Amino acid sequence: LQFTEEKLGQAEKTELDAHFENLLARADCTKNWTEKILRQTEVLLQPNPSARVEEFLYEKLDRKVPSRVTNAELLAQYMTEAANDFGPGTPYGKTLIKVGETQRRLGAAEREFIRSASINFLTPLRNFLEGDWRTISKERRILQNRRLDLDASKARLKKAKAAEAKAAVTL
């Protein structure tokens, strides 16, 4: 009732401390930017949307995500197979083997980068959103409910004093 009356402008609302309001605004801003950065980093690390959904499902089911071959590793495999078909002794075969080995190392570095970024960058962001932010939201709701209770009590007290003053005037 108090919340509705406040929204309709029929009841007074106790304002929170300006510093506290600033902290709440900063917390909201932090949450929004953290979500955006998390999503975009996931897109950068795994550009394939269906693979991201698959990884999300594995994560939610607490199963290990099967390792995928990176594009560079796949290219390295194709180059090595082509070099074996052309003959490793031919100039083209030797070149394919060298470039294929370089691509394999690039793919391994990419895989390590994705693993490292996931552990060292995405995990703390997720921990904030799933842990700290939930706590902040819960405490914010509790504070809002307590403020509404206080304002409702103030309104009842004000009405009681007005009724008492009216009764004293009529006597």
The answer, yes or no, to whether residue 4 has pLDDT greater than 90, is no
Verdict on whether the full-model pTM lies above 0.85: no
- Contact status, residue 72 vs residue 106, Cβ threshold 8 Å: yes
Distance CA(27)–CA(147), nearest Å, equals 19
pLDDT of res. 166: 86
Is 7 a domain residue?
no
Q: Residues 34-69: pLDDT tens digits?
A: 999 999 999 998 888 888 888 878 877 888 777 788
Distance CA(123)–CA(38), nearest Å, equals 9
pLDDT of res. 165: 87
pLDDT of res. 77: 96
Is 4 a domain residue?
no
Is 116 a domain residue?
yes
Tell me the pLDDT band of 2, cut-offs 50, 70 and 90.
low
Burial (CB < 10 A; 0-12, 13-18, 19+), residue 96, is: buried
Q: Residues 6-27: pLDDT tens digits?
A: 666 666 777 888 999 999 999 9
Is 5 a domain residue?
no
pLDDT of res. 48: 84
Domains: count for the chain:
1
SS3 content of the chain, % helix, strand, coil (to 5): 85, 0, 15
SS3 labels along 80-131: HHHHHHHCCCCHHHHHHHHHHHHHHHHHHHHHHHHHHHHHHHHHHHHHHHHH
pLDDT of res. 54: 84
Is 61 a domain residue?
yes
- Contact status, residue 136 vs residue 111, Cβ threshold 8 Å: no
Q: Residues 64-106: pLDDT tens digits?
A: 777 788 889 999 999 999 999 999 999 999 999 999 999 999 9
Residue-number span of the structural domain to which 90 is assigned: 15-170
Is 93 a domain residue?
yes
CA geometry: angle at 11 spanning 6 and 16, to 5°?
Answer: 65
Place of tokens 């799933």: 130
Assign residue 31 the CATH number of its domain.
Answer: 1.20.1270.60
Is 71 a domain residue?
yes
Is 113 a domain residue?
yes
Q: Residues 115-131: pLDDT tens digits?
A: 999 899 999 999 999 99
Distance CA(98)–CA(105), nearest Å, equals 11
Mean residue pLDDT of the chain comes to 89
